[in-house]
């Protein structure tokens, strides 16, 4: 359980933040509309936060892949030029 929490702590934080902010967003939307009972985008705060976390992990993975490709290309160029790659 601890390992799962450690691995997914950012998602847990996003859900908690969204859960805390959603009631405030619903109140503000109802005040702005002048009535309550309508369903709007204020209920999409939790999925939005989860999407932002997923996007951040995707960007991190993309940069990690770029680094791997860049390092392998650098070794390839040195090997082709006959340089020592150590």
**Residue 69: what pLDDT?**
82
Q: Domain of 55? A: 2-81
The answer to whether position 61 is within a domain reads yes
* Report field, pTM of the whole predicted structure over 0.85: no
**Overall number of domains in the chain:** 1
The answer to whether position 40 is within a domain reads yes
DSSP letter string, 25-46: HHHHHHHHHTSS----GGGGHH
Q: Which residues are within 8 A (CB) of 79 and not within 5 positions of it... i.e. 6 or more apart? A: 85
**Residue 77: what pLDDT?**
62
Using the predicted structure, report yes or no on whether residue 22 has a pLDDT greater than 60: yes
The answer to whether position 86 is within a domain reads no
The answer to whether position 10 is within a domain reads yes
């Amino acid at each position: 359980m601890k390992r799962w929490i450690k691995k997914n702590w950012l998602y847990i934080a996003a859900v908690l933040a969204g859960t805390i902010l959603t009631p405030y967003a619903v109140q503000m939307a109802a005040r702005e509309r002048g009535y309550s009972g309508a369903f709007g985008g204020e209920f999409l705060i939790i999925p939005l936060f989860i999407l932002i976390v997923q996007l951040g992990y995707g960007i991190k993975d993309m940069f990690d892949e770029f680094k791997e490709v860049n390092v392998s290309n650098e070794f390839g160029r040195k090997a082709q030029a006959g340089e020592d790659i150590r």
